[in-house]
Chains A and B, each alone.
Chain A
Amino acid sequence: MKPIKFLSFIFLILISSNSFSQQKYFEPKPVTEADLKLKVCDFDSSAQAMYLFDVANIHIDFDESVSLGFKIVFDRKYRIKIFKKESSDLANGSFLIHNGDKEKLLKIKAFTYNLDNNGKIEKTEINKQSIFYENISDDLTKVKYTLPKVLEGSVLEVSYSIVSYDLTSLKSWIFNDNIPVKYSEVVYDIPEYFTFKPMTTNFPTNSIKSNWLSNQSASFVSKERELIGGVTGTSFNFSNFSFIVKSELYAVNNIKGFTKELYTLPRNDLNIKISQELVYIRLPWYTLDRANKSWFSLSTALWDSEKFGKKLTSSPMLKKELLSLKSNFEDSIQFLTFLIETVQKKAKWNNEYSLSIDKDLRQVLTGEQAYSAEVNGLLYQLVKEAGYTVYPGLVSTFGREKPNLFNSSLRGFDHMICLVVSGNELLTLDACSPFSKPGFLPKLDYNGEVLALVPSNPVLVQNNPTKSKEIIILNYALEADETIKGDVNAFYMNAEAETRMKFDKTNPNHQLKSNDIPAVTSEFSFEVSPAKASVSEKYKFSWAGIDKIGEEMRFKPFLFYAQESNPFLPTERYTPIFLSNPFSETIKVIFNFPSNYEIVSVPKSSSVVLDELAKFKLVVSSDETSIQLMSELNFNEYYFEVADYASIKKLMDEMIRKHADEIVLRKKK
């Protein structure tokens, strides 16, 4: 009888030697009188508080008591200087830890430093009652703390350590915050058995990067239990091994606090950040390979996944029916529109994004609540059965981490759409959209490239938002009672139509640009064309806002659609301008007046052009009894560097100036 090995080995780390590398980590000096007397941040004088430093060391350590012999320890320490009492809320902090066996809080320490009446440094430690553990879900606990004796001038110091037993994930580090940061640093100490890919975002030119190697050794015991002839025995093997630890340091100095600005990128895109993504673990006793070595390996893993590829390649559902239906449609666009509409009618999206397809697609077809990948998984299946070449496309929705061509990773991706081959192009389809137009994606779908899961050759394809359109036609006349009556015909397409869908569909007034709102004298017609991703609105109005100065009558011809305020007010800009999508806005005015009136003055035509980027144009013409104006605002791009800000501000100023120009009439004598 052969011995049966039923427990292969348990290892015990006995010794780990000290590294021989020289110390390169940031070493905080004790709080000094100068720290406490500091009155202002030297690189941001308006700051009410600042981080003197915020440093972390994330190290993967031996631990004999854990299953794979390694654990990850996150040590963070920061000091905040309070310049103004108003910022004392910074004395309240929090962080999250995973519950159960995933993570543990090893220690938390916090102190407030003040100068006492004798000019001596007084150090007050946080008490246990000021640390709270709030269960925010089954999986997460929020550790909250509030520091004592916070005064103007105080220095707050907090340090905590968290141990994690999930070796597949290293914490990311964000170097900036709402207040200025004098120095921010993170050091990752990674043993040679682990390979992570670092991904940095927005790293400034003055950032510091360095790395060094150190050597560590350890002993472990492997224990084997064997059943020989009905008797269980245990044998021990002692092994010594040494390994190299690579330390990577990333640091940034003097970072200004965030400034809230309009039309800017989401916070995630503005952060100075480093993330680490696991590629593989190759311990002598355990290996784990992540599929993220290349886009190809990631794609292959997804196609092989039970909760993605396997579901997308399940047996056909409606192939015959779809193929016979197809001939009823004039072209592919119409048929694809029909397929999107079918999925939108049948499937119920639960408004949650996910890459996971848990449900059988037949269940989605019967109207069960489904995640985005399940809804578009159904669409993929139907499009494929209808005979089209279609690929799943992975999307990172707005606000999440953008895909990075040079870092094959699923990080950020949270949504799946369909990409249909149409000639030389890929046509995007998304049944989670409010519309059914092929090629139209909702605003949230635009956040960097789409990963096209072409089995043989997965690629990141450009995904730029389509231009939106807004056309408003104001046709009105001067009445005998010297009020204005007329009608509005407005047409919105793509993202602008999507925005309109969120508005009140019974009343136009809330969406007008001016406060000088009209009386709506008819039904408000609000029509949606899902296949064109458009919305059209119609209503009649009367308006009594004409100014009568002496014999003259004056009013702004764009009435309540006049642009009155510039969204770019501040003279300085710190972040790029982000407009979601390129757009054009056309307002056409046709004004008729009785022949017993004459024109005193009308606005003059004008034009401002910023190369190919943006344009504002006003064209005016008039005759004996009518005046026509056309205002065109065109933004051909949706992202502008800070350097373009002044020109864009000027363009908008000109538009506001021209929209404020009045038509002046008087009665003929």
Chain B
Amino acid sequence: MKRIKYYSILFVFQFLGLFPLYSKSNSSGPDLVILKSETTFKIASSSKAELEEKYLLLVKNAEGLEKSESEFYYDNLIKIQSLTIVIKDIKGEIQKKIHLSDFGDFSAIAGNGMYTEDRVKLYDFTQFSFPFFMEVSIERKYNGFLHLPSFYPIYTYGISAYQVDYKIEYPKDYNLTWKQFGTGIKSTIDTVSSTHVLQFHVDSMHQLVKEDYAPDFSELVPHIVFNLPYFRYDKSEGDLSSWTNYGNWLSALLNTLNSELSDETKKELIAIKELQISKKEKAEMVYKWFQNKTRYISVQIGIGGYKPSAPKLVDAFGYGDCKALVYYYISLLKFIDIEAYYCVIKSSYESETVPVLEHPNFTYFNHVIAALPVENDTLFIECTNQKIPFGFVPSSWIGKPYLLVSNNQSYLSKVPHITYGENASKSYRNYKVSKDYKMLANEQNLYSGIQMRSKIWELIEPKEQLQKTMSLYQSSKNRNLENYEVELDKKYKFIQVKEAVSCVIKPKSDGRIILNVFEDKWMSGFNWDTTRLCTGVFRNSYIISDTIIFEFDTLIKDVILPESLNHSNKLYNYEVKLSFRDNKICVYRRIAINKVNLSLPEMKALVKENSEMLKYESSKIAFRF
């Protein structure tokens, strides 16, 4: 009977076209299929609940296994009561029954973490041959903290779902609110004696394939965001009915911390305070001293995910996580009467879905920074990096919401689109070619606006390491790196990279020298194909320009240059000019990308244009001495 059941389900899916049975790659079907999923959240109070999940997955390949989220996390406040997984082969025959005791138990520490109380239950599922069914049954108990994660029927790319049910039972007097984004989720609400029963149901949802310049995942997939107005975390009670209230709760946590500084620190700060310089300059001096004194280490104990270590401890030991370092820096400034604020921020490279801001959610923010008001402006300050320039805003913060935490005056805002000049990268390259086929290339590159941010990491990297990396990169192209310098403009308007490279050009057997005109193929960044499924979202306008001058110590002849080009469409204007004059070859190339949204037909129409441009960028120049 069981076998018949599984086969029939598979047949239905085949019929629905949800997945081809033995697809190998994402383009031909999802990696993971949620055949059936039932989740029940039974909320007893603001800090107690039971979560029951039962789901049947078809794991088709290793990517699907990764997406199956078969790592089960818990901590002191969320316990796993029971966990059973049944693995069945594609014919429905049981391969293994795995119980909670069969799982390995590990610390959930990640990245630069030193210690966390969070744990994870792991099992090696790679031993099973793909595809296989995974029948999961898990019960969790929340005691001390309750957080309702958003409900996504499919939670990442490459997953299809057939039948997904999500139920929340909560006391009638409990003011739970929710909001649906997108369509396709059916909802009902019933009341059974003193309990509301909120149910969501989804029938068949196709997989999404990740594409460049597409809207963000959360904009493409319907989902529900919940809000529990009151919460309890360990022994601390809070209000999440508004971001302001949440900020005030954080502020109250901060107020309990010991901000006393050592005499030695005070002495350093007093010396800075007494200088006749501006508030901003003082804050910058304190920042440099702070960077030298501290380092980033993550330790998460108890409420440590939200409450930082006390400034007194950071002062004594010189380390902390982002929360602790920010609050320490703020305390240092406070000592010299400079006001700065603790800000929680959503640091992300994805675009921002504004409606979430109207719907406070406990885990929305993921980083802490400092905000320093100066002369009608606000500086945003990263405190976990010892090399990042003072007040430099990484691109992952631009336009992102932040919550400024202040006693009863917390408020939500957004990091402005700080441009630091236009979004541009400009290159000036001078190639000196001698008759003995030696070439010395001097390049000067200026990066400003968003373009600058990709270079900030070179500024932070130790110089010796950077030289080594760049030198290796150049030698992979048979060139010698003579010099490499990265410098940030004092007003943060641009980053300048100077590079000198030498090499020997190899002439062809007929004495002809052939060189690539364009080393960087700009158009390769717009190389989507005709099978594209999503509209295009180009979030920033920017300009890239390149001026190359080839100079020769001897007269050259038989010069062949590609045609100049000027091509425009809704997305870009692309211009290339080439000339040979006074024994010099000059190449000027510029592309201006527009901030624009393109429809799917427009995206498809661009494919051919882009491939033509890409072909053009393979053009060569040729000459002889």
Contacts and interface: CB of A to CB of B under 8 A. Distances in A.
Contacts of A142: 107
B115 A144 contact: yes
A549 B292 contact: no
Interface stretch (A60-68, A83-91, A268-276): A83-91
Given A137-B105, A350-B127, A550 B622 contact: yes
Nearest to A506: B24
B480 to A, nearest CB: 10
Contacts of A467: none
A88 B295 contact: yes
B316 A550 contact: no
B407 interface: no
Nearest to B476: A565
B510 A547 contact: no
Contacts of A550: 558, 560, 622
Interface in B313-366: 313, 316-319
A173 B316 CA distance: 34
A151 B289 CA distance: 11
Given A151-B292, A570-B472, A601-B510, A92 B127 contact: no
A132 B113 CA distance: 12
A146 B24 CA distance: 46
B297 interface: yes
Contacts of A545: 618
A92 B114 contact: yes
A527 interface: no
B55 to A, nearest CB: 24
Size category of the A interface is: 35 or more
B500 interface: no
B193 interface: no
B557 interface: no
B508 interface: yes
B508 A132 contact: no
Contacts of A137: 104-105
Interface in A575-633: 600-601
Interface in A111-146: 116-117, 124, 127, 129-130, 132, 134-137, 142, 144, 146
A504 B509 CA distance: 39
B510 A136 contact: no
Interface string B21-65: 000110000000000000000000000000000000000000000
Nearest to B465: A86
A549 B559 CA distance: 10
Interface residues of B, number: 41
Contact of B476 (A46, A136, A569, A660): A569
Given A569-B472, A569-B476, A664-B508, A134 B24 contact: no
A565 B472 CA distance: 12
A574 to B, nearest CB: 14
Among B24, B386, B472, B509, the most chain A Cβ lie within 10 Å of the Cβ of B509
Interface in A190-208: none
A146 B560 contact: no
Nearest to A657: B506
Given A86-B462, A151-B293, A505-B24, A369 B317 contact: no
A76 interface: no
B579 interface: no
Interface string A140-163: 001010101111100000000000
B299 interface: yes
A487 interface: no
Contacts of A124: 316-317
A618 to B, nearest CB: 15
Nearest to B319: A146
Interface of B: 24-25, 96, 104-107, 109, 114-115, 126-127, 264, 292-293, 295, 297, 299, 313, 316-319, 386, 462, 464, 472, 475-476, 506, 508-510, 512, 514, 558, 560, 615, 618, 620, 622
25 contacts: A85-B292, A85-B295, A89-B295, A91-B295, A92-B297, A124-B316, A132-B114, A134-B115, A135-B105, A136-B106, A148-B316, A150-B318, A151-B292, A151-B318, A152-B292, A350-B127, A504-B24, A547-B514, A550-B558, A554-B514, A565-B476, A566-B476, A569-B476, A600-B510, A601-B509
Interface of A: 46, 48, 84-86, 88-89, 91-92, 116-117, 124, 127, 129-130, 132, 134-137, 142, 144, 146, 148-152, 350-351, 369, 504-507, 544-545, 547, 549-550, 554, 565-566, 569-570, 600-601, 657, 660, 662, 664
Given A137-B105, A149-B293, 5 more contacts: A89-B295, A135-B105, A150-B319, A369-B96, A569-B475
